[in-house]
């Protein structure tokens, strides 16, 4: 007899959790609620998907704010990891995260703390 599945949240980052096309990004940029601090600006818009959908993430990390690819990739990794863990508590919304220049010099723990604050604000 196979073990019963307990509803333990998975922390994967499937395609269904990502903004994949420019139309989705355009919708968020056109009409979004802003949440900003020293390191990030997060744009959030309620999703048109069904009520049982989950949050989706899009990243817009520009070369202007993070000139080196190493820094951009590190920031993206931190954002994705933070989002994966916060996703079960987030409302059904499309989110786009933009970084600010200060994020390049901040350590990962500081960036995670900043994102955790944003996720909590969006969950309210």
Tell me if 106 is assigned to some domain: yes
Instruction: Tell whether the model's pLDDT for residue 104 goes beyond 50.
Output: yes
Distance of alpha carbon 28 from its chain centroid, rounded? Answer: 13
CB atoms within 10 A of CB 22: 8
CA-closest candidate to residue 33, choices 91, 104, 100: 91
- Total domains in the fold of the chain: 1
What is the reported pTM? 0.86
Q: Per-residue pLDDT tens for 41-70?
A: 999 998 876 555 788 999 999 999 999 999
Quote the pLDDT of residue 1: 47
Per-residue confidence (pLDDT) for residue 50, from 0 to 100: 58
Quick one: pLDDT at residue 124? 83
Could you give the CA distance from residue 87 to residue 11 in angstroms, rounded to a whole number? Answer: 8
Tell me whether residue 11 is in a domain: no
Q: What residues make up the domain containing 23?
A: 17-123
The CATH number of residue 105's host domain is 3.30.230.10
Q: Would residue 65 count as lying in a domain?
A: yes
Distance separating alpha carbons of residues 114 and 96, to the nearest angstrom: 15
The percentage of residues in the chain with a pLDDT greater than 90, rounded to a whole number, is 65
């Amino acid at each position: 007899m196979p073990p019963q599945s307990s509803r333990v949240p998975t922390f994967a980052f499937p395609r269904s959790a990502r903004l994949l096309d420019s139309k989705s990004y355009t919708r968020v940029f056109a009409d979004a609620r802003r949440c900003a601090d020293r390191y990030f600006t997060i744009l959030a818009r309620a999703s048109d998907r069904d009520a049982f959908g989950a949050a989706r993430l899009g990243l817009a990390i520009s070369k202007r704010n993070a000139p080196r690819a190493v820094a951009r990739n590190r920031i993206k990794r931190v954002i994705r990891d933070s989002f994966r863990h916060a996703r079960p508590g987030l409302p059904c919304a499309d989110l786009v995260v933009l970084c600010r220049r200060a994020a390049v010099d901040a350590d990962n723990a500081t960036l995670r703390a900043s994102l955790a604050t944003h996720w909590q604000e969006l969950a309210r």
